[in-house]
């Protein structure tokens, strides 16, 4: 999974960004995109959207509940399919 935070550096680079996204998707990677402005000014909602994205894209594997812990249960996403590994780095 890739979390992409778009800022001014992405202006006028639509073609490059599209090629890069297509490459990542060809590897089976999922891309969550948000704007830098939203991270700085609306982080709580961005985090909710990211959580929804993870659940929708990867599903819920289980809810782990520990009786000895005072922390609330946490959702864990299923791992991505095996075999989608590539040592090439594309930035």
Token pair belonging to 63: 């809810």
Q: Please give the chain's pLDDT, 91 residues, in tens.
A: 999 998 877 667 888 889 999 999 999 999 999 999 999 999 999 999 999 999 999 987 655 555 555 555 554 444 444 444 444 544 4
What percentage of the chain's residues is helix, strand, coil (to nearest 5)?
Answer: 40, 20, 35
Q: Could you tell me whether strands 74-77 and 60-64 are parallel, antiparallel, or unpaired per DSSP bridges?
A: antiparallel
Q: pTM (2 decimals)?
A: 0.60
Question: Which helix (H) or strand (E) segment is 33 a member of?
Answer: strand 31-35
Return the domain boundaries, the chain: 2-77
């Amino acid at each position: 999974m890739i979390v992409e935070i778009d800022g001014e550096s992405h202006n006028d680079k639509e073609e490059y960004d599209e090629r890069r996204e297509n490459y990542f998707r060809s590897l089976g990677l999922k891309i969550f995109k948000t704007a830098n402005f939203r991270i700085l000014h609306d982080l709580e909602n961005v985090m909710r959207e990211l959580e929804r994205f993870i659940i929708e894209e990867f599903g819920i594997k289980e809810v782990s509940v520990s009786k000895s812990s005072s922390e609330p249960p946490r959702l864990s996403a299923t791992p991505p399919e095996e075999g989608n590994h590539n040592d090439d780095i594309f930035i």
